[in-house]
């Protein structure tokens, strides 16, 4: 830093001096030019004013008059004297002080007489700097002599030297002040932040810090800040991964982490490229005023899949629906992500409003969603929606095939019910590709699925995949029963596979989970009781006990049944009135669809009705928070609640249950869980309920609030062990590993049948 300061000071001195001297040079030059022009004008004016008197003296031929004129004007400022010459250049009169100087006719005089006009010139005579102005004298338009006016021009040089001295003094003062100010700026705005950054990085190296400090000080070094932050994050992750691995080795456990997943997948892929297709993109670009903000939508799939794509430099293909998405891609609709550390490619597919309405909101969410969730909401099937669903699946297939164009033996992982037709479309064009699809929602029994007018096409599209994944085994069983009922195929119940058109499809359960980060919370983290008090104070209510529910406002989540159970609980156990509060975090979902819009109104009305029955001045039983909450906000409610209530009427997995368990580092809290969720097959220590049984749910709430702390701790420990061991990285690792290990044994005849079937379908 000292060497930098010395270089900076020397550079500033040299630069400021050069600039000051250059500026002074032009300033002095301009001033000198002005003084010379002023002197020339004065000489011309004086000459013009004297010319008449001198010409009359010449007419009289009076040497006395001429000498009188010369002596009279010889004492003016800077005027050295006058001289009068005759027609032949003979000296007629002269100021005594100039007699020796003008002993010979000045060249200006000769030029003026010859050219018949005034001539001025600066000359150096002996050691004096003079300005000589010669003016011809006339009589009836005939030149009869000349007048010479001599000024002392030495004051111009003296003034120039004075200005140079002033310029040097100013330059010295400027250099001193600017160097001083610069050193202060360097010390306060550069040296100090750099020193703090070095201190922070030293703390990172020793494990004493995990997040950057004084980040606002480093705005001047924004690119450096980004790189240092990325480096710090990588260092922290690497240290955490190493510590986790060491702990697991010490305890003999085997836990999946993002790093282990990356290594595992890199080994299985063996330099192959992975392509992921989903409706939701991992990064959105949204306009915020005049700037563009990058948003990471909350998604367990992004958490699980991103480490895989980073490890193999894969490609994620998704619908680009951010309002600034189009501005951030290249000419091929691609961009590298993550923004701060690009590791893989995001390819965006564009849908117009009609396509999005028909494919996503129409067939996918008004047709397949209620069809697969047995929540007693009638599916709506429209021929127009089905056409859009086909068209969008084909559009995504074209984008995927374009990305796979020069890739040998690609591996494709398709996400969810939005792309049931995609596996068949890909397999028809690229039979050698390994294709898997994971169905994130339940699969109903075959009788329920028979409602769909396009059940055959949906099942046939899925059977184009080499591997189909569901959350639990019962969904796999339902799918195989549906296949056996809907399409011509051979179902192998022993190996849970289907052979259709000589193509083998495996059907397997892969229970999805969450990112379980088992870390020691900072000492500053408040206890659940303190955090609960702070949350309730922010909500403007008072209570002793608190339950929480976190859901999208969807008819499959059983929110109305949940509220009825809370009302029944307060009626049955009135001692909890005024003491128990339930906070429902309800994120709006698909609200422009009538069923969802109506549901939101029903939920709000039911909460208002129940509160109207029981509430007091400072208490009400239900607080309905109808807005999006970020991860940190939800975590606070998880940690503060006495229990989490999950009353899904039908759910593929329900990650809220696992998120609650993962958040309870204090090993307290009770999970009340619907038996109709996939999570109920893993979390056996939850209080499992039938959400339609209001009395059973009310009893579960009482049990949760009155359960002994030891039992709470024991139950939570066992559930946390399950979630820790079966986390989201294990889900992704086992799914991709199984896909990579498949034997691609379709015969040429089978491939031809496959192509013919797809051609007929199109």
pLDDT per position as a tens digit, 549-600:
999 999 999 999 999 999 999 999 999 999 999 999 998 888 888 899 999 9
Q: What is the DSSP letter of 682?
A: T
β-strands 79-86, 91-94: how paired?
antiparallel
Q: Please, are residues 649 and 674 in contact by the beta-carbon 8 Å criterion?
A: yes
> Which pLDDT score, from 0 to 100, does residue 163 have?
83
**272: pLDDT strictly greater than 70:** yes
Q: Domain with 293 in it: what CATH number?
A: 3.40.50.2000
Give the number of domains in the chain: 4
Q: Please, are residues 542 and 615 in contact by the beta-carbon 8 Å criterion?
A: no
Q: Residue 157: how many CB atoms within 10 A of its CB? A: 12
| Among candidate residues 238, 254, 270, the one where a domain is terminated | 254
| Among candidate residues 254, 273, 306, the one where a domain is terminated | 254
Give a yes or no: residue 360 inside a domain.
no
**762: pLDDT strictly greater than 60:** no
Q: Which of 335-339, 628-632, 716-720 has the lowest mean pLDDT?
A: 628-632
Give a yes or no: residue 208 inside a domain.
no
Give a yes or no: residue 337 inside a domain.
yes
Give a yes or no: residue 204 inside a domain.
no
**78: pLDDT strictly greater than 70:** yes
Question: Cα separation of 754 and 489, whole Å?
Answer: 13
The three-class DSSP label of residue 471 is: coil
**pLDDT 10s digits, 465-493:** 999 999 999 999 999 999 999 999 999 99
**pLDDT 10s digits, 402-438:** 999 989 889 999 999 999 999 999 999 999 999 999 9
> Which pLDDT score, from 0 to 100, does residue 200 have?
63
For the chain, the C-alpha Rg in angstroms (whole number) is 46
Question: Cα separation of 655 and 677, whole Å?
Answer: 10
- Is there a single domain that holds both residue 99 and residue 55? yes
Q: Which long-range contacts (CB under 8 A, 24 or more apart) does 709-718 make?
A: 709/668, 712/667, 712/668, 712/669, 712/670, 713/667, 713/668, 714/685, 715/670, 715/685, 715/686, 716/661, 716/664, 716/667, 716/668, 716/669, 716/670, 716/685, 717/667, 718/684, 718/685
Give a yes or no: residue 731 inside a domain.
no
- Is there a single domain that holds both residue 537 and residue 578? yes
- Is there a single domain that holds both residue 500 and residue 624? no
Please confirm whether the linkage preceding 150 is cis (ω < 30° from 0).
Answer: no
- Is there a single domain that holds both residue 491 and residue 462? yes
| Among candidate residues 235, 254, 273, the one where a domain is terminated | 254
In Å, how far are 211, 426, 486, 501 from 490, measured between CA atoms?
57, 22, 12, 10
- Is there a single domain that holds both residue 408 and residue 422? yes
Give a yes or no: residue 622 inside a domain.
yes
In Å, how far are 107, 596, 622, 648, 717 from 549, measured between CA atoms?
109, 18, 11, 11, 21
Its pTM stands at 0.70
Phi-psi bin for 271: left (phi > 0), alpha (psi -120 to 50), beta?
Answer: left
Question: Cα separation of 635 and 617, whole Å?
Answer: 28
- Is there a single domain that holds both residue 333 and residue 230? no
Question: Cα separation of 728 and 665, whole Å?
Answer: 18
Higher pLDDT, 239 or 16: 16
**pLDDT 10s digits, 140-156:** 778 888 888 888 888 88
Contacts of 128 (CB under 8 A, 6+ apart): 101, 152, 154
- Strand pairing partners for 337? 344
- Is there a single domain that holds both residue 263 and residue 249? no
- Is there a single domain that holds both residue 456 and residue 534? no
Q: Which of 196-205, 354-363, 392-401, 645-654 has the lowest mean pLDDT?
A: 196-205
Give a yes or no: residue 334 inside a domain.
yes
- Is there a single domain that holds both residue 473 and residue 572? no
C-alpha closest to that of 621 among 568, 668, 660: 568
Average pLDDT of span 737-749: 70
Average pLDDT of span 313-320: 95
Q: Domain with 39 in it: what CATH number?
A: 3.30.450.20
- Is there a single domain that holds both residue 484 and residue 546? no
- Is there a single domain that holds both residue 481 and residue 605? no
Give a yes or no: residue 457 inside a domain.
yes
**358: pLDDT strictly greater than 60:** yes
- Strand pairing partners for 73? none
> Percentage of residues in the chain with pLDDT exceeding 70?
87
Contacts of 471 (CB under 8 A, 6+ apart): 440, 442, 509, 510, 511, 512, 652, 653, 678
Q: Which of 53-67, 103-117, 254-268, 613-627 has the lowest mean pLDDT?
A: 53-67
> Which pLDDT score, from 0 to 100, does residue 750 have?
45
- Is there a single domain that holds both residue 492 and residue 606? no
For the sheet containing 434-438, what is the strand order? 334-337, 344-349, 315-319, 274-278, 411-415, 434-438, 467-470, 503-509, 497-500, 490-492
**758: pLDDT strictly greater than 50:** no
- The whole domain housing 95 covers 2-159
Q: Please, are residues 469 and 436 in contact by the beta-carbon 8 Å criterion?
A: yes
């Amino acid at each position: 830093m000292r060497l930098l300061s010395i270089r900076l000071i020397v550079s500033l001195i040299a630069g400021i001096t050069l600039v000051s001297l250059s500026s002074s040079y032009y300033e002095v030059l301009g001033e000198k030019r002005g003084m010379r022009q002023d002197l020339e004008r004065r000489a011309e004016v004086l000459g013009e004013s004297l010319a008449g008197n001198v010409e009359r003296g010449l007419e009289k031929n009076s040497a006395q008059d001429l000498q009188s004129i010369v002596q009279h004007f010889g004492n003016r400022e800077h005027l050295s004297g006058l001289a009068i010459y005759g027609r032949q250049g003979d000296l007629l009169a002269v100021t005594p002080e100039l007699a020796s100087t003008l002993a010979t006719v000045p060249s200006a005089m000769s030029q003026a007489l010859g050219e018949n006009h005034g001539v001025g010139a600066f000359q150096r005579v002996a050691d004096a700097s003079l300005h000589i102005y010669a003016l011809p004298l006339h009589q009836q338009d005939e030149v009869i002599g000349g007048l010479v006016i001599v000024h002392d021009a030495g004051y111009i040089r003296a003034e120039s030297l004075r200005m140079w001295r002033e310029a040097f003094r100013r330059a010295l003062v400027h250099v001193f002040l600017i160097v001083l100010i610069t050193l202060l700026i360097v010390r306060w705005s550069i040296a100090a932040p750099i020193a703090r950054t070095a201190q922070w990085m030293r703390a990172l190296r020793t494990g004493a810090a995990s997040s950057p400090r004084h980040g606002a000080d480093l705005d001047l070094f924004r690119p450096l800040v980004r790189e240092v932050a990325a480096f710090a994050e990588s260092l922290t992750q690497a240290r955490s991964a190493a510590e986790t691995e060491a702990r697991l080795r010490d305890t003999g456990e085997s836990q999946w982490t993002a790093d282990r997943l990356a290594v595992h997948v890199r080994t299985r892929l063996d330099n192959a490229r992975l392509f992921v297709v989903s409706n939701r993109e991992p990064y959105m670009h949204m306009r915020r005023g005049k700037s563009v903000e990058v948003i990471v939508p909350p998604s367990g799939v992004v958490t699980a899949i991103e480490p895989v794509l980073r490890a193999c430099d894969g490609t994620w293909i998704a619908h680009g629906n951010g309002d600034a998405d189009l501005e951030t891609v290249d000419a091929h609709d691609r961009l590298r992500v993550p923004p701060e550390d690009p590791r893989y490619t995001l390819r965006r597919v564009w849908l117009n409003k009609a396509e999005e309405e028909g494919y996503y909101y129409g067939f996918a969410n008004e047709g397949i969603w209620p069809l697969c969730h047995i929540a007693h909401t009638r599916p709506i099937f429209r021929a127009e929606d089905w056409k859009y669903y086909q068209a969008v699946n084909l559009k995504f297939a074209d984008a995927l095939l374009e990305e796979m164009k020069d890739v040998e033996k690609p591996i494709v992982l398709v996400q969810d019910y939005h792309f049931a037709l995609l596996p068949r479309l890909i397999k028809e064009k690229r039979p050698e590709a390994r294709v898997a699809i994971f169905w994130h929602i339940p699969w109903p029994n075959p009788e329920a699925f028979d409602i769909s007018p396009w059940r055959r096409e949906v099942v046939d599209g899925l059977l184009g995949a080499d591997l189909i994944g569901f959350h639990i085994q019962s969904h796999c069983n339902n799918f195989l029963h549906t296949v056996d009922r809907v399409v011509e195929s051979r179902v192998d119940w022993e190996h849970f596979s289907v052979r259709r058109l000589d193509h083998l499809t495996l059907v397997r359960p892969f229970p999805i989970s969450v990112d379980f980060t088992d870390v020691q919370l900072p000492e500053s983290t408040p206890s659940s009781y303190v955090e609960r008090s702070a949350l309730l104070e922010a909500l403007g209510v008072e209570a002793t006990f608190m339950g929480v529910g976190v859901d999208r406002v969807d008819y499959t989540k059983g929110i109305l049944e949940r509220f009825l159970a809370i009302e029944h609980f307060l009626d049955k156990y009135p001692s909890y009135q005024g003491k128990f509060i339930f906070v429902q975090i309800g994120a709006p979902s698909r609200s422009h669809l009538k069923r969802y819009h109506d549901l939101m109104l029903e939920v709000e009305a039911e909460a208002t009705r129940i509160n109207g029955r029981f509430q007091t001045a400072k208490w009400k039983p239900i607080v309905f928070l109808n807005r999006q909450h970020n991860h940190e906000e939800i975590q606070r409610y998880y940690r503060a609640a006495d229990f989490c209530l999950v009353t899904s009427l039908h759910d593929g997995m329900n990650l809220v249950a696992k998120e609650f368990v993962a958040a309870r580092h204090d090993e307290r809290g009770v999970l009340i869980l619907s038996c109709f969720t996939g999570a109920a097959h893993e979390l056996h220590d939850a209080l499992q309920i039938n959400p339609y049984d209001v009395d059973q749910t009310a009893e579960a709430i009482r049990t949760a609030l009155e359960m002994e702390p030891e039992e709470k701790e024991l139950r939570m420990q066992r559930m946390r062990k399950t979630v820790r061991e079966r986390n989201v990285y294990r889900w992704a690792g086992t799914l991709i590993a199984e896909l990579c290990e498949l034997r691609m044994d379709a015969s040429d005849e089978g491939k031809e049948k496959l192509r013919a079937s797809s051609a007929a379908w199109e």
